[in-house]
Amino acid sequence: MPTIYEVAAAAGVSPATVSRVFNGANVSAEKAEAVRKAAKALAFTPSRTARTLRLQSSEVIALVIPDIENPFFTALARGVEDVARAAGYSVVLCNTDEDHEKELRYLDIALSATMAGVIIAAAGGNSDLSGLLARKCPVVAVDRSPHGVDVDAVIVDNRAGGRAATQALVEQGFQRIACITGPSDVETATQRADGWRDAVTGGRAAEADDRYLRYADFRVDGGAAAMSDLLAMPEPPDAVFVANNLMSVGALRVLSEQGKLPPATGVAVFGDLPFLPLVPIPITVVHMPARHLGTTAAKLLLERINGDDQPARTIVLRNQLTPVG
Partner DNA sequence: ACCCTGTCAGAAATCGATTTCACCGTCAAG
Partner DNA sequence: CTTGACGGTGAAATCGATTTCTGACAGGGT
Judged by the rule CB under 8 A, the positions of this chain that interact with its own copies are 1, 43, 45-50, 52-53, 58, 60, 68-69, 71, 74-75, 77-78, 81, 85, 90, 92-95, 102, 105-106, 108-109, 111-114, 131, 134-135, 220, 246, 249, 252-253, 256, 261, 273-281
Residue 92, Cβ density class (10 Å: 0-12 exposed, 13-18 middle, ≥19 buried): middle
Q: In terms of CB distance, is 44 or 196 closer to DNA?
A: 44
Of residues 9, 36, 42, 46, which one binds DNA by CB under 7 A? 46
Do 193 and 243 meet the contact criterion of CB atoms below 8 Å apart?
yes
| 68 CB burial (10 A radius; 0-12, 13-18, 19+) | middle
**Is the CB of 46 or the CB of 236 nearer to its own copies?**
46
Residues 272-304: b if buried by 16+ CB within 10 A, e if exposed: bbeebeeeebebbbbbbbbbbbbbbbbbbbbbb
| Distance of alpha carbon 161 from alpha carbon 151, whole angstroms | 23
Nearer to its own copies, 26 or 45 (CB): 45
Binding mask 47-86 for DNA (x = CB under 7 A): x-xxx-xxxx------------------------------
CB of 132 to DNA, least distance (A): 16
Q: Is 23 in the site for DNA (CB under 7 A)?
A: yes
How far, CA to CA in Å, does 221 sit from each of 15, 270, 320? 59, 17, 26
Select from 27-35, 67-75, 171-179, 280-288 the region that touches DNA (CB under 7 A).
Answer: 27-35
- Closer to its own copies by Cβ: residue 91 or 199: 91
Sign of the alpha-carbon torsion through 166, 171, 174, 175: positive
206 binding partner (options its own copies, DNA, none; Cβ < 5 to 8 Å by kind): none
Q: Shortest approach of DNA to residue 307 CB, angstroms?
A: 15
| Phi and psi angles of residue 149, each rounded to the nearest 5 degrees, phi first | -95, 150
Question: Is-cis flag, bond preceding 138, omega within 30?
Answer: no
Phi, psi of 253 (to 5 degrees): -60, -45
* Cβ distance to its own copies smaller for residue 111 or 315: 111
- Between CA 283 and CA 270 the distance in angstroms is 11
Which entry of its own copies, DNA, none binds 94, CB below 5 to 8 A by partner kind? its own copies
Give contact residues for DNA (rule: CB under 7 A). 1, 3-5, 12-20, 22-23, 25-28, 30-32, 44-47, 49-51, 53-56
